[in-house]
């Protein structure tokens, strides 16, 4: 697996995608859009990967969409290719990442602007460096947070924060991002990798069908009526039951009934035997 604009490493069941244009602050270029879509597909079908972590090389997580290559270049000179790339971005980050069948964590190491926000929002979890700098800078160049960014900030930010930062272009740091719930928590940059990988490892030995159902039932319930959600999760329960050959009930619950472990305090590591 080699990509022009990404590094992908797999270790201990964690697939790490590193946006790798540090000299351009990992601006999301057309090539990166194609690479990212391909990397998500590769990790999706790789049985050695249970959890995916997304981060950036160097000082930036992602400085947003590539204003030079994408907007100044393609949008003006090659509208069809601009449209194709826009569709790839929407599909890969808005849909594929959001509904990815394995848990995903954004590890925000530095600058995160505009088009970098959906990478954070569409990941299930996010950990930031205290020192990271976030900003909805579009207003500073006479635009607004359009495309996926509008929906991303509506999904994940508190209304006052979304409007404050998008109307002023003010920046906020990793600690402030944690305080407002935009990321789960922040840690000093020197600890970011260690803490994020440890968080990822908390999920690598959980049952994959249960992890997928956890995500699906949360994400789709948000979009469903109460009745539809009840029906959907009942069907999901059967899906998990089939995927594990009844494992969660036979072993997960069964071993508790037999006094072998306490699921409130420990994780069963082999429900599907």
Q: Is 15 in the site for ligand COA (CB under 6 A)?
A: no
Candidate list 8, 40, 51, 65; residue touching ligand COA; CB under 6 A: 65
Q: Is 24 in the site for ligand COA (CB under 6 A)?
A: yes
Q: What are the CA-CA distances from residue 58 to residues 102, 121, 181, 237 (Å)?
A: 26, 21, 25, 43
Q: Is 66 in the site for ligand COA (CB under 6 A)?
A: yes
Site string for ligand COA, 86-125 (x = CB under 6 A): -------------------------x-xxx----------
Minimal CB distance to ligand COA: which residue?
A: 64
Site string for ligand COA, 44-63 (x = CB under 6 A): ---------------x---x
Q: Is 134 in the site for ligand COA (CB under 6 A)?
A: no
Q: Is 64 in the site for ligand COA (CB under 6 A)?
A: yes
Q: How far is the CB of 85 from ligand COA (least distance, A)?
A: 14
Q: Which is nearer to ligand COA, 57 or 197 (CB)?
A: 57
Q: How far is the CB of 88 from ligand COA (least distance, A)?
A: 16
């Amino acid at each position: 697996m080699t990509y022009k604009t990404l590094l992908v490493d797999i270790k201990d069941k964690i697939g790490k995608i590193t946006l790798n244009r540090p000299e351009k602050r990992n601006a999301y270029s057309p090539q990166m859009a194609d690479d990212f879509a391909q990397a998500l597909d590769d990790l999706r079908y790789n049985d050695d990967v249970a959890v995916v972590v997304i981060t950036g090389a160097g000082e930036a997580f992602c400085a947003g969409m590539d204003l030079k290559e994408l907007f100044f270049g393609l949008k003006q000179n090659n509208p069809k290719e601009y449209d194709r790339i826009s569709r790839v971005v929407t599909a890969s980050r808005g849909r594929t990442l959001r509904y990815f069948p394995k848990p995903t964590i954004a590890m925000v190491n530095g600058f995160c602007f505009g088009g970098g926000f959906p990478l954070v929002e569409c990941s299930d979890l996010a950990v930031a460096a205290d020192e990271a700098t976030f900003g909805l800078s579009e207003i500073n160049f006479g635009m607004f947070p359009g495309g996926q960014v509008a929906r991303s900030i509506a999904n994940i930010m508190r209304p006052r924060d979304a409007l404050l930062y998008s109307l002023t272009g003010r920046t906020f740091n990793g600690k402030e991002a944690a305080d407002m719930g935009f990321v789960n928590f922040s840690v000093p940059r020197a600890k970011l990798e260690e803490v994020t990988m440890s968080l990822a490892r908390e999920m690598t030995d959980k049952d994959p069908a249960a992890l997928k159902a956890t995500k699906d039932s949360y994400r789709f319930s948000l979009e469903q009526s109460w009745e539809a959600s009840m029906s959907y999760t009942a069907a999901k329960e059967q899906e998990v039951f089939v995927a594990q050959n009844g494992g969660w009930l036979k072993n997960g619950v069964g071993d508790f009934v037999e006094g072998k472990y306490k699921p409130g305090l420990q994780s069963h590591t082999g429900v599907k035997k």
